[in-house]
Structure 1
Amino acid sequence: MPAGINNSGIFIAVSFIIFSEKYVSKKNYPAQINGISDAGDCNSLCILGPFQFIISLTGNGICPYIVPGESEYSLQCVPGDRRMKNSTEKLIQLVNIEDPDCVLKEVKFILLSMNSDFSTKNIENVFQDIIMLFQGKYQGYQACNTEYHDLRHTLEVFLATSRLIHGALIDGRLISEKMINIGIISALMHDTGYSQTLDDVNGTGAKYTVSHILRSIEFCTKYFAGSPSYGGDLNSFRDILLCTGFTDRIEGIKFSSPEVETVGKILGAADLLGQMADRLYLEKLLYLYHEFKDAGIAGFENEYDLLKKTVTFYGQSLNRMEKDLSGVHKHMKSHFRVRWGLDRNLYIDSIENNIDYLKYIIQQDDYMSFLKRGGIVQKLKKSRLEAL
């Protein structure tokens, strides 16, 4: 049970399903299905549906989804009101991104809500292999040593991609079950290019920053070579993965179908949304500076310079999502409305909170003292002392 919730607390999520004509008329993709899910902290039992509010029988008003060890971030419930305060914490309180099992359970729940007969077997198999890859347990590969492009980031993109696909279907886009599988698996594969083989002993995976997308495509191609399920879809995987290149021109990709293009753009948007909405985003930018430094990428004098230029990057990211990626990020709002009863894009809310805070701290003399999450600043300071 998470910190901040006493043992006598019983929380019931009461769901009301309202089927609109739009949902029930969509073949193979019915409205949100009632079910039991332990998304969140993986211990709290909730009955989930599209429109829900939280009732605390203890009367203390604290919701069950809180950051372990950080009770000051607890969401406060307003009786009869589905809204939650402190939106910067909302995403991790809905699903604990730090627990791979929780993330997988939520993705499966989303997929089954789109189609109760959806087979998640292939996604689950790839998911387990990717976890092993990052942990150094996948044959022939070292553990991940890039601290910005880490397992957490891949889980964020995996979840964000699933949510966007869900929202896209709600909004009337047509995506087959096969292509949904390919898109979500591509999310799991999208940063495998940072991984180093056992005999690659020089430097870190960050040295592959420039080439990591092509390396991810290569990993994916080898992984599915001869596969009866996806051996014939390697071009689709390639084109979808190419959409994660921030400076790559989407119009230069010759997509095999509009469906592949849609899913590729969804992954491209999910990659941006997932990382920038992370509650550790600002702290992890310090890691990103060192990854760029290891890769020999110029343009940033120091950690502070990268933080300062991230404000501009945010504007560029919005422009890319609106234009190059055809605004598919807007489908996220429909997902949260149907899944959680929140008629907002929580990713954009969280990103704006991050950027607003960033604008504040870069004006401060001791900007590092404002980056308190995840113990990242302390870890970097310790590494510097050890290097002396």
Structure 2
Amino acid sequence: MITPSQLAADRLAAEISAEIQRTFGSRQAPLAETVGAVARLAIECIANSDALYHDWEHTLLVTQVGLEILRGRTLFEPVEPADWAHLLVACLVHDIGYVRGVLAGDDARLGYVVDGAGNRTVLARGASDAALTPHHVERSKLFVAARLGSSDLLDASRLVRAIEYTRFLPKADADAAAPADEATLVRAADLIGQMGDPLYLKKTKALFHEFEEAGLNARLGYVSPADLVEHYPEFFWNSVSSHLVTATRYLEVTVGGRQWIAGLQANVFRAEQSRSGSPAAGLGNQPSSASTSPTSAA
């Protein structure tokens, strides 16, 4: 049986592999094939998740942003094949910790592993994978150590550091003043992949229910999916935009990158119009170049 996730996995793997070889030549075929294999593994693993928002499509979008960032960065400065590989693999596996059963110690009855010490959490009856939100970053790091730790071409510690930067809320560093850094670029790809999603406004209901299951709505004061849209502009400008400066500079020099930037800007506009009650807010129900969540649980 051919499934949408399988088609997406094959297409993404082929695109990544071809782009690495197109940029660095056929000598990098082994590295390109390795990253392509991780793409298939990640997408097909995440396709098993029942989280409503953090699904394989989210991972696909984040990885596409990461690829576009690399294309732009390569036009600015020398970038090594290993830089491409590690940024892309970090994008691919940053949310794999949401998937129950992805770690060797996971057990539906005994609980799901949440840290390197082997501690577990038991999920409530009927819970979805979104209940692992507080632990998914640590679980993703454990997955990397277990599955990629012996790779000759990938440095697991490098991947772990990049994944750590995708925690919600974003780490408070001055990205605007910082040099290009792999971990901050992965974080930016995660945020832009969510907030630049052409269908994001249609997905806020799914994200709201994930937040509810993870206990985030009470903490954030959200009582309706509409709150995610209405509070988005201030969240974007106060908590997100400063982390996108370097990545945006790279995105601005490619056609695909400019489409992601346009999407981010369009979603801020739609959210502002939605809050003001303007007729233009109706555009938010249409697919556009972007979307966003006031609380990006990237």
TM, length-normalised to structure 1: 0.58
CA distance in 2 between counterparts of 1:187 and 1:241 reads 8
- How many residues in Structure 1 have an aligned counterpart in Structure 2? 251
Instruction: Check if 1:178 corresponds to 2:100.
Output: no
Q: 1:321 aligns with which of 230, 239, 244?
A: 244
The equivalent residue for 2:285 is 371
Higher helix share: 2
| CA deviation profile, 1:60-109 (whole Å, cap 9, x unmatched) | xxxxxxxxxxxxxxxxxxxxxxxxxxxxxxxxxxxxxx944443343334
Aligned to 2:44: 132
Task: Specify whether residues 293 and 368 from structure 1 end up closer, same or farther in structure 2 by C-alpha distance, changes over 3 A only.
Answer: farther
Distance 2:17 2:206 in 1: 31
Q: Per the alignment, in what secondary structure is the counterpart of residue 134 of structure 2?
A: coil
Check conservation: 2:208, 2:225, Cα contact below 8 A.
yes
Q: 1:356 maps to which residue? A: 269
Deviation, structure 1 residue 199: 3.5
Seen in structure 2, the aligned counterparts of structure 1 residues 295 and 372 have a Cα distance that, compared at 3 Å, is same
Kindly state the Cα deviation for residue 361 of structure 1 after the two structures are TM-superposed: 2.9
Tell me the CA shift for residue 370 of structure 1: 5.5
User: Which residue is equivalent to 1:103?
Assistant: 12
Q: Deviations over 1:142-170 (max 9, x none)?
A: x2111211111100111111111121111
Determine the structure 2 residue equivalent to 1:247.
Answer: 169
Contact 1:241 1:264 in 2 (8 A): yes
* 2:249 match: 330
Q: 2:66 matched to 1:161?
A: yes
Instruction: For 2:267, give the aligned amino acid.
Output: N
Secondary structure class of the residue paired with 1:345: helix
Which residue in 2 is equivalent to 1:222? Answer: 146
Q: 2:187 aligns with which of 268, 274, 296?
A: 268
- Is contact 1:213-1:242 (8 Å) kept? yes
| 1:112 to 2:37 alignment | no
Structure 1, residues 257-301: CA drift from partner, whole Å, max 9, x if none? Answer: x99x72212111111111111111111122111111100112112
Following the alignment from structure 2 to structure 1, what is the Cα–Cα distance between the partners of residues 193 and 138?
21
Secondary structure, in 3 states, of the residue corresponding to 2:141?
Answer: helix
For 1:188, the equivalent position in structure 2 comes to 92
Bigger RCO of structures 1 and 2 (CA < 8 A, at least 6 apart): 2
Q: Look up the equivalent residue of 1:123 and give its one-letter code.
A: V
Q: Please identify, of 293-302 and 344-353, the stretch whose mean Cα deviation from structure 2 is larger.
A: 344-353
Do 2:13 and 2:40's aligned partners in 1 also have CA atoms closer than 8 Å? no
User: Percent identity among equivalent residues?
Assistant: 20
Give the secondary structure class of the aligned counterpart of 2:233: helix
Counterpart contact for 1:270–1:329, Cα < 8 Å: no
Q: Name whichever of 347-356 and 241-250 sits farther off.
A: 241-250
Q: Which residue of 2 aligns with 1:33?
A: none
In structure 1, the gaps of 5 or more residues are 1-97, 136-142, 253-257, 375-388
Q: Classify the secondary structure of the residue corresponding to 1:334.
A: coil
Shift of 1:373: 5.6
Deviates more, 1:364-373 or 1:117-126: 364-373
CA displacement at 1:133 relative to structure 2: 0.6
Question: Hey, what does 2:204 align to over in structure 1?
Answer: 285
Which letter maps to 1:161?
G
SS in 1 for 2:142: helix
Larger radius of gyration: 1
Q: Offset of 1:196 from its aligned partner?
A: 0.9
The residue type equivalent to 2:143 in the other structure is F
Closer, same or farther: CA 192–102 of 1 in aligned 2, 3 Å: same
Alignment match of 2:57 (pick from 130, 149, 152) = 152
Q: Secondary structure at the match of 1:211?
A: helix
Quick one: distance in 2 between partners of 1:368 and 1:334?
A: 31
Match of 1:311 among 213, 220, 233: 233
C-alpha contact (below 8 Å) 2:199/2:287 kept by paired residues: yes
Change (3 A) 1:107 1:226: closer
- Structure 2's unaligned 5+ residue stretches are 1-6, 109-122, 289-298
- Give the deviation of 1:372 after TM superposition: 5.5
CA RMSD of aligned residues (A): 2.9
- TM-score of the two chains, using structure 2 as the length reference: 0.75
Indicate if the aligned counterparts of 2:95 and 2:137 stay in contact, CA closer than 8 A: yes
- Residue 110 of structure 1 contacts residue 166 of structure 1 at CA under 8 Å; is this kept in 2? no
Q: Tell me, yes or no, if the aligned pair for 1:243 and 1:250 is still in contact at 8 Å.
A: no
> Do the aligned partners of 1:154 and 1:187 also contact (CA within 8 Å) in 2?
yes
Q: Deviations over 1:173-209 (max 9, x none)?
A: x332123212111111000111112743641111122
Q: C-alpha distance in 1, partners of 2:18/2:198? A: 23
SS at match of 1:265: helix
Residue type of the alignment partner of 1:193: G
